[in-house]
Amino acid sequence: MTAIWARRFEHLRRDPRSRWIGLALMVVALAVLPFALEATVGRTWVRIMDLALLYTMLALGLNIVVGFAGLLDLGYIAFYAVGAYVYALLASPHFHLHLPWWLLLPLGAVLAAFFGVVLGAPTLRLRGDYLAIVTLGFGEIIRIFLNNLNAPVNITNGPQGVNLIDPVTIGGVSFSRASTLLGISVPGTHLHYYLFLLLTLLVIFVCLRLEDSRIGRAWVAIREDEIAAQAMGINTRNIKLLAFGMGATFGGVAGGLFASLQGFVSPESFALWESITVLCMVVLGGMGHVAGVVLGALLLTTLPELLRHTAAPIQQQLFGKVVLDPESLRMLLFGLALILVMLLRPAGLWPSPVRRRELTSATTPEVV
């Protein structure tokens, strides 16, 4: 029976018409998803999907550094903060500048890439835990700077953050309020969803192209054995810096989109826990596998919110009262799920074929 279904799926995979039909159905499903969510579970879940797409971009950027190049980065959220503050400071009354979003997103990406190279340059000789400690410190330095650069010259407005940030506006349509398009009233959360989805698909396309390129293979070679890669003629210094820069670029873009969505940013949004969360998305989904990272980002964004909204009603029905605070129960189940996944599926929920073969060969006893 399994062989029969395998042959059927193989036939569908080889048939170009079936692939185009599947792609068209996926596009239609993604297009109607926000309206379906609003009609069934409320507009709050459309907002959650907006954040899920942002975290997907972050996880894909971190996957370049951790999954492809094998460089453990615990300060990745700093690049997210750089992109968010570039957008917030230059598109708000703080400096009385209101630059357009299509200029600020590339500017935030370039500045985040610069900081990524700045982080990578002094860490080229570090590996493993030492690299993780240095990147962790870098992320905390950025957050502390943002929290204290309000004196003697007020640059970031300190812990009070920056508010009244300009929303994305395309063709006179502001994403901060509902608009009528083709006779259909589209809320701002839906407009953000479509913009974030388009940019997320673009990031996925770039990651897939990088994975199959010479640069991607050089990253994998460094991850597997840096000394052997260097002996084969790979310029490990430049390739590592490129990994830090490319990963930071996606973080900067996601940060700018976050600032436009929230309309407010503060240093508390870029704490260490955010870096750990994004790293968990990469590890849970499957390091080095683009589809697995997307799956991990979507799961770790939506499932905790689902638990937050359902924990209290379920306890009320079972025990007649709320025994455990929903927030505490959410984190407890979140940690338990991570432990189980690491024990049962150490390569992640959807590992790359290469990673799966490595683990299989490592656990298979040698036959003499």
**Same domain? 81 vs 229:** yes
**Same domain? 141 vs 266:** yes
Q: How far apart are CA 262 and CA 56, in angstroms?
A: 17
Residue 96 DSSP one-character state: T
Q: How far apart are CA 248 and CA 322, in angstroms?
A: 42
pLDDT: which is higher, 267 or 27: 267
* pLDDT given for residue 176 in this prediction: 85
Within 10 angstroms of residue 352's Cβ, the number of other Cβ atoms is 21
| pLDDT value at 116 more than 70 | yes
**Same domain? 61 vs 32:** no
Distances (CA, A) of 324 to 87, 327, 330, 333, 340: 39, 8, 10, 12, 21
Per-residue pLDDT, averaged over 239-258, amounts to 95
**Same domain? 158 vs 31:** no
**Same domain? 87 vs 124:** yes
The residue from 229, 254, 276 where one domain ends is: 276
pLDDT: which is higher, 205 or 342: 205
> Residue 368 — pLDDT band, cuts 50, 70, 90?
very low
- Residue 79 near residue 248 (C-beta atoms within 8 A): yes
φ, ψ for residue 163, nearest 5 deg: -125, -175
Residue 364, Cβ density class (10 Å: 0-12 exposed, 13-18 middle, ≥19 buried): exposed
The residue from 261, 276, 291 where one domain ends is: 276
Residue 117 lies in a domain: yes
- Residue 342 near residue 280 (C-beta atoms within 8 A): no
The residue from 245, 276, 307 where one domain ends is: 276
- Residue 60 near residue 289 (C-beta atoms within 8 A): no
**Same domain? 102 vs 180:** yes
* pLDDT given for residue 2 in this prediction: 44
- Residue 68 near residue 224 (C-beta atoms within 8 A): no
* pLDDT given for residue 106 in this prediction: 95
**Same domain? 150 vs 136:** yes
pLDDT: which is higher, 39 or 9: 39
Taking the alpha carbons of 244, 136, 85, 334 in that order, is the dihedral positive or negative? positive
* 277 CB-near residues (< 8 Å, 6+ apart): 55, 300
**Same domain? 92 vs 123:** yes
Residue 282 lies in a domain: no
Residue 267 DSSP one-character state: G
Residue 88 lies in a domain: yes
Residue 253 lies in a domain: yes
| pLDDT value at 363 more than 80 | no
Q: How far apart are CA 96 and CA 171, in angstroms?
A: 22
Residue 270 DSSP one-character state: G
> Residue 240 — pLDDT band, cuts 50, 70, 90?
very high
Residue 1, token pair as written in the block? 């029976």
φ, ψ for residue 177, nearest 5 deg: -145, 170
The parent domain of residue 10 ranges over 1-40
Name which of 98-102, 140-144, 249-253, 313-317 the model is least confident about. 313-317
**Where do we find the tokens 């338990």?**
336
**Same domain? 33 vs 141:** no
* Identity of the highest mean pLDDT range in 13-27, 36-50, 328-342: 36-50
Would you list the DSSP string of 285-306? Answer: H-TT-HHHHHHHHHHHHHHHHH
Residue 24 lies in a domain: yes
**Which of 138, 108, 98, 94 shows the shortest CA–CA distance to 120?**
138
> Structurally, how many domains does the chain consist of?
2
Q: With pLDDT > 90 as the criterion, what percentage of the chain qualifies?
A: 47
Question: SS3 for 22?
Answer: helix
* pLDDT given for residue 29 in this prediction: 87
Residue 292 lies in a domain: no
Residue 90 lies in a domain: yes
Report angle CA 90, 94, 100 to the nearest 5 degrees.
Answer: 25
**Which of 95, 301, 259 shows the shortest CA–CA distance to 175?**
259
Q: What is the pLDDT of residues 40-96, one digit of tens each?
A: 888 888 999 999 999 999 999 999 999 999 898 899 999 999 999 999 999 999 998
**Same domain? 108 vs 17:** no
Predicted TM-score (pTM) of the model is 0.89
| pLDDT value at 5 more than 50 | no
Per-residue pLDDT, averaged over 160-181, amounts to 88
- Residue 272 near residue 78 (C-beta atoms within 8 A): no
Name which of 10-19, 265-274, 330-339 the model is least confident about. 10-19
Report angle CA 283, 270, 216 to the nearest 5 degrees.
Answer: 40
Residue 332 lies in a domain: no
**Same domain? 120 vs 48:** yes
**Which of 141, 129, 291 shows the shortest CA–CA distance to 211?**
291
**Same domain? 107 vs 30:** no
